[in-house]
Amino acid sequence: MFRINFAVTTFDSKIYVIGGEGLKGAIIQAVEAYDPVTDRWKEVGLLPKPRRNHATNIINGSLWSCGGSSSSLEAQSTDELVWEENSLFVFYLRL
């Protein structure tokens, strides 16, 4: 799947790609894992809502993702920036 602005981390010899933007700016909800032993990708979960430009890490065997945005709207200047209610985003997936 083509994507940009995603988060990526490794765990247990797999590469995890979380969210991002697909074709035509569609924001992605999928969490996928690449296994280099089998040379295959597998969808392993979904974010509660699509996310891009976020951070991720593995803590105690859980994949944590936070920050970023779920909107395709972008501010053109700092005067247009608005802090949305519930803009702090934290998600975790037990691996």
Q: Which two tokens stand for residue 1?
A: 């799947």
Span 30-49, pLDDT tens digits: 999 999 999 999 999 888 88
d(CA 63, CA 56): 7
The CA–CA distances, whole Å, from 92 to 7, 31, 82 equal 13, 11, 26
Write down the pLDDT at residue 65.
82
Write down the pLDDT at residue 69.
84
Over the chain, what is the mean pLDDT?
A: 79
Q: Which two tokens stand for residue 64?
A: 């944590």
> Where is pLDDT greater, at 34 or 63?
34
Res 86 pLDDT > 70: no
Q: Is 45 in contact with 93 (CB distance < 8 Å)? A: yes
